[in-house]
A and B are shown apart, each in its own frame.
Chain A
Amino acid sequence: MKRFIQMTLIGLISVALTACGGAQPDTQNNQGTAGKSVSLFLDWTPNTNHTGIYVAKEKGFYKDAGIDVEVLLPGEVSAEQLVATGKGEFGISFQNHVTQARAQGLPVVSIAAVIQHDTSGYASPVEKGIESPKDFAGKTYGAYGSELEKSMVNFVMQQDGADVKDVNIVQLGNSDFFVATKRDIDFVSIFYGWTGIEAELRDVKLNFIKTTDYAKDYDVYSPVIVTSEKLISEDPETVQAFVEATAKGYQFAIENPAEAADILIAAEPDLNPDLVKKSQEWLSPRYQDDAPQWGIQESKRWEAFADFLFKEGIIEKEVDATQAFTNQFIENIKK
């Protein structure tokens, strides 16, 4: 009897193992079209920042451009590192990440701005009584774990006659905004288009201090799409094809928010559909905003921010901001 149980267990385990091992090649076979396959690493869990990519995938824009895009989550590794080492062709990143990464020698380049203007800000439940940056004094800030955060909070506070030394900064780790502010944390930096909308849905009243209201010169592109210097020099055709199809995807999301939201919901059924719909409605007009074309980036914004990081000592060497991004692919899009 004992022996029988042993054998059954061994059998079950080996079945389970082979099942796990077999799963990967299968998914690849499903997508095995003639196109060149490239991978794209997201920055975080899928959200409305990524809608255009999901649209381009679902509507066949990538397929028409002759590429096959696999969307992946990086986990604890950063998308910038994966792209820089060639483990993935494209990644979703942020202007501040790209600048810091380049200061450390990572050859990543931003090829398109997903959202034209920074939508981030410092959010807190209204009960905390934080109405302007000077109210941060004596409060606790929940940080995501980057050196830049302290400098940015400080900059914003200084515009309002206060100083970051009076703020208690705590690393948030994996806690989300709503959980964190229930206890010891008073304010957190959020993207309005996702967490702010979530608060509206949950009926949590927020005080939201928009970062660019106080730091006009540091209107960072967040997020951006990045690739490696190597891919740009060796295979610009693929990058061009990718950027064109992606731009088409975002154009569709700009014109048809509701349908675009449905595509994202269908692709990622674990997301809260109400949140996606409402967030998409809020974000769609903001992708391109006042820019002449979706994805365009301005040199002076890259330069101003790189200077800020250098002055704050967050990066040790000056980054040539003009190398950190390129408009060549956006500008080459055939109308």
Chain B
Amino acid sequence: MRHKFFIHSWRPALAIMIFIGIWELSARIFAIETWILPAPSVIAAEMREVLPAFLPHMFSTIKLVLIGFTFGTTIGLIMGTLFHHFDRVRETVYPFLIISQNIPIIVLAPLLLIWFGLGDTPKMIIVAMTSFFPIAVATLSGLQQTDRELLHYMKMMGASKRQLFAKLELPHALPSIFSGIKISATYSVMTGVVAEWLGAQKGIGVFMTLASSSYRTPRVFVAIIMTMLLSLTFFAMIALLERLFIRWNREEKGA
């Protein structure tokens, strides 16, 4: 598996190198001003310079995103499961969830700051709020796509509701649940950064605000690149977890 990964990864790596090469060249040839679009070499130099100052901001964002995302995932899983088991709850609550996803963060953040103060709580709520929804939806649809015949079969054998859920529905829903988690993970870092940008003491969002208010475009790019790296790492971790879980799932089924 690992093998294949390295063999296949040369393509995207080459593509990124070519992209950066073209960017660097055109920045030099057309003499693009740094404050409009800095060349990759300028960004790299800036990164070396500001990294020590940047790290505390990044750790603050990581903490915020991890906690918010964990809450969001837990809530999403619980909601999805509840909706699957209790139709009335689903009918009553589902519309509220959809509405909750339509509140623009840009107006919600200041309100949360008034309600919960300027600590980490309001930002964690924003991350949790945006990350639970894809997971709840994916969990629900995963659970509802259980093989009807197997379900029927297990019922005939006298399986209890709990057994049905643990042995059949949940393992079958895992791929779907993980797609939901992956979608959420991808967005949660960005959401965290935006939330910080709307009011915080530390974090990538604050760093970005300071950089852009002083017209330091290279610094803005440093923040963008670090945000992307963070997102990718986060995604890779979830993908790894998925592989572990689903393999375990397959093995158990095979046995």
Q: Which residues from chain A sit less than 8 Å from chain B, CB to CB?
A: 78, 80-81, 84-85, 100-101, 103-106, 140, 144-148, 168-175, 179-180, 182-185, 314-315
**Minimum-distance CB pairs A-B, first 3:** A173-B199, A145-B209, A173-B198
Kindly name the residue among A168, A174, A314 whose own CB sees the greatest number of chain B CB atoms within 10 A: A174
Q: Which residue of chain B lies nearest to A314 when distances are taken between CB atoms in the complex?
A: B214
Q: What does the 1/0 interface line of B26-39 toward A look like (CB < 8 Å)?
A: 00000001111000
* Complex interface: chain A residues within 8 A of B33 (CB): 105
* Size band of the interface chain B makes with A: 20 to 34
> Is the Cβ of B201 less than 8 Å from the Cβ of A170?
yes
> Is the Cβ of B109 less than 8 Å from the Cβ of A146?
no
> Is the Cβ of A105 less than 8 Å from the Cβ of B35?
yes
* Complex interface: chain B residues within 8 A of A80 (CB): 215
Interface check B197, CB cutoff 8 A: yes
CA distance A40 to B74 in the complex (A): 49
Q: How far is the CB of A148 from chain B (nearest CB, A)?
A: 8
Q: Which among B34, B113, B213, B214 is the interface contact of A173 at CB below 8 angstroms?
A: B113
> Is the Cβ of B110 less than 8 Å from the Cβ of A175?
yes
Q: Which among B34, B114, B196 is the interface contact of A175 at CB below 8 angstroms?
A: B114
* Complex interface: chain A residues within 8 A of B212 (CB): 78
* Complex interface: chain B residues within 8 A of A314 (CB): 214
Q: What does the 1/0 interface line of B118-143 toward A look like (CB < 8 Å)?
A: 10000000000000000000000000
* Complex interface: chain A residues within 8 A of B35 (CB): 81, 84, 104-106
Interface check B225, CB cutoff 8 A: no
Q: How far is the CB of A65 from chain B (nearest CB, A)?
A: 31
* Complex interface: chain B residues within 8 A of A140 (CB): 118
Residues A145 and B206 in contact in the complex (CB < 8 Å), given A104-B216, A173-B110, A185-B118: yes
> Is the Cβ of A145 less than 8 Å from the Cβ of B110?
no
* Complex interface: chain A residues within 8 A of B197 (CB): 171, 173
Interface check B117, CB cutoff 8 A: yes
Q: Which among B199, B214, B216 is the interface contact of A171 at CB below 8 angstroms?
A: B199
Interface check B151, CB cutoff 8 A: no
> Is the Cβ of B201 less than 8 Å from the Cβ of A169?
yes
Q: Which among B114, B198, B199, B215 is the interface contact of A104 at CB below 8 angstroms?
A: B215
Q: Which residue of chain B lies nearest to A102 when distances are taken between CB atoms in the complex?
A: B215
CA distance A173 to B63 in the complex (A): 20
CA distance A169 to B217 in the complex (A): 23
> Is the Cβ of B216 less than 8 Å from the Cβ of A175?
no
CA distance A100 to B114 in the complex (A): 32
* Complex interface: chain B residues within 8 A of A145 (CB): 206, 209-210, 213
* Complex interface: chain A residues within 8 A of B209 (CB): 145, 171
CA distance A168 to B215 in the complex (A): 25
Residues A147 and B206 in contact in the complex (CB < 8 Å), given A105-B35, A174-B109, A182-B114: no
A selection of 30 A-B contacts at a CB cut-off of 8 Å is: A78-B213, A78-B215, A100-B214, A103-B215, A104-B215, A105-B35, A106-B35, A140-B118, A144-B213, A145-B206, A147-B213, A147-B214, A148-B214, A168-B201, A170-B118, A170-B199, A171-B196, A171-B200, A171-B201, A173-B109, A173-B197, A173-B199, A174-B106, A174-B107, A174-B110, A179-B110, A179-B113, A183-B117, A314-B214, A315-B214
CA distance A144 to B213 in the complex (A): 9
Q: Which residue of chain B lies nearest to A174 when distances are taken between CB atoms in the complex?
A: B110
* Complex interface: chain A residues within 8 A of B201 (CB): 168-171
Q: How far is the CB of A133 from chain B (nearest CB, A)?
A: 21
> Is the Cβ of B113 less than 8 Å from the Cβ of A104?
no
CB-contacts of B196-255 with A (<8 A): 196-201, 206, 209-210, 212-217
Q: Which among A81, A170, A183 is the interface contact of B200 at CB below 8 angstroms?
A: A170
Q: Which residue of chain B lies nearest to A179 when distances are taken between CB atoms in the complex?
A: B114
